[in-house]
Amino acid sequence: MFRNIILTTALGLSITHLSYAQAENVPINGVVQSRCIIQTDNPGTFGNPNAYTLTTSSADGGEDAIIRFDVSLADAYYAEITAPTAFSSSPSLPDTVTWTGDTEVHAVSDATGMGSYETNKIELGMTDKYDLTATGSTWFKTSSTATLGGSKAFPGGNYTALVVAECIAQ
Amino acid sequence: MKQMIMAMIAVFFVSSVQAHEMTPTYPKLEPSHLDGLLVTTMQMFNKRADVEYYEIAVFDKEWNPVPFVTSYNIIKLDYLGKVTFDVYIRKNDRQRVGYICSRSKLRKESTVRTAVTSRICSKFK
């Protein structure tokens, strides 16, 4: 009788232990699609080195816009980046504004595959077009300078200008 | 103390990275339940904290606008939000349709700065 109780208890314990030993596989599903992601690492800031100039130059207290393109499919996208050609918001200005600006490759994740991006770019006015021939990340730096005509002073107020970053499937 | 401030600044810059994403790269038009219309389904993800609205547009291969219908032409998409939306195009436009694009819409800001408006275009092949 006592032996039977011990055996039953041992069997029960072993079943309990079996239940502890069970494992569950929980799948986390995901699909990697070819895509282009545009990231704004730094939207940029204008410095005001003199009364009639706003510039993103760091020497004048500004910051260039830094935009990152992540591409997961080679030869599938163009990057087109356009430096500002007008203020999207500003006070009323007493004269016309002359704009200069440029975009260049700031950094790349794959020096071999992306090393020729800067030399192969196509410049169309203020727009620079890059053929994204490799997968990975490319950081572009856009500078901008606005000069008010007649060396007149920019009126006090808030100024915003837009950099347009486009990723267009080929 | 100085290291702590530097770390906080680093965290701020890492967390301020902002992204806009639209898939698929090459959408396909399929017959819809509506007579005379084709449909394709797109997905968009907003990781731009400074953007709440995206405008959808459809163009031909020469970048001329093509008529289309979505639930909303301007889609409200909260930060870290994902949206799936259908774009309907007339069957007659099937041959000339070239791109579907989404463009970020920015609010006026109260600082002296530049801002980045992002546009991603998928292509019909």
Residues B100 and B58 sit within 8 Å (Cβ to Cβ): yes
CB contact under 8 A, A168 and B22: no
Residue from A63, A91, A81 nearest B113 by CA: A63
Q: What is the mean pLDDT of chain A?
A: 88
Residue B70 sits in a domain whose CATH number is 2.60.40.10
Q: What is the C-alpha R_g of chain A?
A: 29
Domain region containing B95 = 18-123
Task: Report the C-alpha gap between B112 and A154 in whole angstroms.
Answer: 12
pTM, two decimal places: 0.81
Which tens digits make up the pLDDT trace of A133-161? 999 999 999 999 999 998 899 999 889 99
Which tens digits make up the pLDDT trace of B7-55? 344 433 444 557 889 999 999 999 999 999 999 999 999 998 889 999 9
Q: Is B91 helix (H, G, I), strand (E, B) or coil?
A: helix
- Structurally, chain A folds into a number of domains equal to 1
Let me know if residue B92 belongs to a domain: yes
Let me know if residue A4 belongs to a domain: no
CB contact under 8 A, B22 and A144: no
- Structurally, chain B folds into a number of domains equal to 1
Interface test with B, best of A31, A33, A34, A37 (most B CBs within 10 A): A37
The confidence score (pLDDT) of residue A24 equals 83
Let me know if residue B47 belongs to a domain: yes
Query: Taking 60 as the threshold, does the pLDDT of residue A16 lie above it?
Result: no
Let me know if residue B74 belongs to a domain: yes
Let me know if residue B87 belongs to a domain: yes
The confidence score (pLDDT) of residue A12 equals 55
**Tokens describing residue A39:** 């990231």
Q: For residue A88, which residues of chain B lie inside 8 Å, CB to CB?
A: 106, 108, 115
If you ran DSSP here, which 8-state letter would residue B32 be given? -
Let me know if residue B10 belongs to a domain: no
Rounded average pLDDT over B102-110: 80
Let me know if residue B6 belongs to a domain: no
Which tens digits make up the pLDDT trace of A68-116? 999 999 999 999 999 999 999 999 999 999 999 999 999 999 999 999 9
The confidence score (pLDDT) of residue B26 equals 94
Domain region containing A114 = 36-169
Query: Taking 80 as the threshold, does the pLDDT of residue A127 lie above it?
Result: yes
Residue A127 sits in a domain whose CATH number is 2.60.40
